[in-house]
Structure 1
Amino acid sequence: MKIKKIMVVLGMLASIGMVLAACGGNSDGDQAAEGNKQITVSSKNFTENVILAHMMAELIEAKTDIKVTRTVNLGGSNVVWNALKNNEVQLFPDYTGTIVANYYQEETGTSEESLSKTRELLKADNLAFLEPFGMNNTYTLAVTKETADQYNLKTFSDLAKVSDEMTLGVEFEFLDRDDGYPGIQKLYDMNFKDSKGMDHGIMYQAIEKGETDVTNAYATDAQIIVHNLVILEDDKQFFPPYDGGPVIRQDTLDQYPEIEDVLNLLKGQITDAEMQELNAQVDMEGLKEDDVARDFLVKKGLIEG
């Protein structure tokens, strides 16, 4: 008799447990359904890319009900690229020149041609490149303001005319790469009095001390502001364009089409000079990338403060 009672009690407890489990399961399912609207935004491991990733994340959070996970500073170009293709992340900022030349080993062309080719190449892999941000983080040549004023330098062609009076100080690999000094020499007939290879950080110290007259740089590098350098125009478009913009999985866009309109709010919003300043706020002033990104969006009127 006691055994029967025990069995009955155990049966009742089991039934209650099943009911509770079922309720719990439904609750978890509802929560999963509610929380399923999410996206992971990533970035490469340098200041500019981290700032741009935070901008995109901030906009999506402010303008949609999509939950955003941020995995910034993930690694170099190929690391983040593979993460995107493997659906470990769904969105990150990249550059047309990197996509065309690095990922697909194709020729770039002008900004318009590179953008078109970028979209064509990505489409085959079910990826998309949305509207460019406006800045072009390409290679360039820079001089001090004093040198620019002295020789009235505005373009690479202007520099070529007086290059035999100057010393070039650039990164080591720039001296030997076909898309570096050898290519510039050939296209612009630019031949410096002397050329020196050095580490990236030393280049800026050298030009500031007058040990060199010309250096290579990235168009959006914060060091350009710090050392008051003047970027010269690549008037024959030797360097490929590196126009920045959002790269996103097409299946993510299909699932959340509202993301495209939201991210396109950044179209043409960031000039090279503005990107330099944003980078400088992090690299020189010590501000946090997410704060810099948010403040910029507020300043542009894209989100509320």
Structure 2
Amino acid sequence: MRFRPLRTTLTFLAAAALTLSASACGGADAVETGSAGNELAGAKFVVGSKDFTENIMLGKIAVHLLKAHGAEIVDKTNLGGTVPNRKALESGEIDLYWDYSGTGWIEFLKNTKPIQDSAEQFKATAEADLSKNKIKWIGPTPLNNTYALAIRSEKAQELGVKTVSDVAELLKTKPQEVTLCIETEFSTRDDGLPGLSKAYGMEIPKNQVKLLDTGVVYTETDKGQTCNFGEVFTTDGRIAALGLTVLEDDKKFFPIYNAAVTVRQETFEKYPALEKVLQPVIAKLDDATMQQLNAQVDVEGMEPDKVSAEWLKKEGFLGSDAA
């Protein structure tokens, strides 16, 4: 899942915003403990998150919300990628973080085929992870932050590509045009490039695949110099801001990625009010909302901590005493 800024200047702003968000706690401090209720009074939670904009934002939402309901919070958002967060959750280093149903199904539970129905995919993931690993999933959000391939719109018209199958055909006729920018994690995941290549029968030469940081993938795809195609997240606000065209996954390879809070079963059983507190917020997080929130960080250069707090306050989730 991914998000990016407008060209060079906004790339810098977004990077600065992410750096600040990793250490800033000012926004969370502005929310008075118990200002929205005391369901979690006496609880203490260490909150983690992955290291891309949307997941940092979701982590900050949890930080503000749980604190407003009386919990003491240790903010460890921007902890790293999927693997570090999952390991930290399982070991007890953190108490909760947001993950995605498709990631749980493919990466954690080692299934090879996604379930195309959103509700069924989440149900199967949540039930299996609880049974096998004692991890509780609270959710899901309506948002589906799935992977996709994107290309700058003018180049899409020039090459006549609308689907991923079109890219596979282009490899046969104009292989030099199929240059790809992706993140490191996407290069190794079963629901990333290896699986995508197999599903579509395309082998992109290694020298035509560039591994870049998330934000750089977007800007380089927009420039069209390093790569024509880029791996993107469908809820990323930079897709529209940069005028990129998202290619249809016509073989429906990519799983559905509904976000949810993952927490150890023992923690949830100790604090079942977590679900009551989180679910109203979870229900509000659809694709359009997340695109707007992500764009405030990656396009406008705001801090995730501030954006998340302002959104929660605007929606009435922080109580009347919230700053």
Matched, 1:171 2:181: yes
Structure 2 Cα separation of the partners of residues 48 and 239 of structure 1: 18
Residues 105-184 of structure 1 aligned to structure 2 (within 5 Å): 105-110=110-115, 111-124=118-131, 125-147=133-155, 155-156=163-164, 164=173, 167-171=177-181, 183-184=195-196
Q: Deviations 1:72-110 (Å, cap 9, x if unpaired)?
A: 223332322222223332211112233233233233512
Change (3 A) 1:145 1:194: farther
**Structure 1 residues 123 and 150: alpha-carbon distance in aligned structure 2, compared to 1, 3 A threshold:** same
Cα deviation, residue 237, structure 1: 1.5
Q: State the secondary structure of the residue aligned to 2:126.
A: helix
Structure 2 CA distance for aligned equivalents of residues 114 and 253 of structure 1: 22
Query: 1:261 is matched with which residue: 276, 291, 296?
Result: 276
Quote the offset at 1:228 in angstroms. Answer: 1.9
Structure 1 counterpart SS, 2:284: coil
Aligned to 2:70: 65
> Within 1, Cα distance between the matches of 2:188 and 2:56?
30
Which of 203, 210, 215 does residue 198 from structure 1 map onto? 210
Instruction: Structure 1: give runs of 5+ residues left out of the alignment.
Output: 1-33
Structure with the greater relative contact order (CA < 8 A, sep ≥ 6): 1 or 2? 2
3-state SS of 1:285 partner: coil
- Residues 272-283 of structure 1 mapped to structure 2, 5 A cutoff: 272-283=287-298
Following superposition of structure 1 onto structure 2, how do residues 71-110 of structure 1 map, counting pairs within 5 Å? Answer: 71-110=76-115
Amino acid at match of 1:196: Q
Letter in 1 for 2:137: F
* Count of equivalent residues: 271
- Output one character per residue of 1:155-178: Cα deviation in whole Å (capped at 9) or x when no partner: 445666777468223237778987
Larger Rg: 1
Counterpart in the other structure of 1:236: 251
Separation (CA, whole Å) in 1 of partners of 2:164 and 2:100: 23
Identical positions, percent: 34
The separation in 2 between residues aligned to 1:197 and 1:188, in whole angstroms, is 16
Q: CA deviation at 1:291?
A: 0.9
Unaligned runs of at least 5 residues, structure 2: 1-39
- The alignment partner of 2:74 has SS state of strand
C-alpha displacement of 1:42: 1.9
Q: Is the 8 Å Cα contact of residues 108 and 241 (structure 1) preserved in structure 2?
A: no
* Superposed displacement of residue 52, structure 1: 0.3
Aligned-residue offset at 1:186: 5.5
More displaced stretch, 104-113 vs 50-59: 104-113
Structure 2 vs 1, CA of residues 256 and 223 (structure 1 numbering), >3 Å: closer, same or farther? same
Hey, what's the Cα distance between the residues in 1 that align with 2:223 and 2:53?
Answer: 26
Alignment-mate amino acid for residue 88 of structure 1: E
Q: Distance in 1 between matches of 2:222 and 2:248?
A: 21
Q: How much has 1:203 moved relative to structure 2?
A: 4.5
Q: 1:169, 1:213 within 8 Å by CA — same for their partners in 2? A: yes
Aligned-partner SS, 2:85? helix
Residue 291 in structure 1 maps to residue 301 in structure 2: no
Q: 1:210 offset after TM fit, Å?
A: 4.1
Q: Which residue, 25, 35, 41 being the options, matches 2:47?
A: 41
Cα gap change, 1:77/1:192 in structure 2, threshold over 3 Å: closer, same or farther?
closer
Q: CA deviation at 1:148?
A: 5.2
Taking the aligned partners of 1:127 and 1:175, their CA distance within structure 2 comes to 26
Q: Are the aligned partners of 1:168 and 1:215 in contact in 2 as well (CA < 8 Å)? A: no
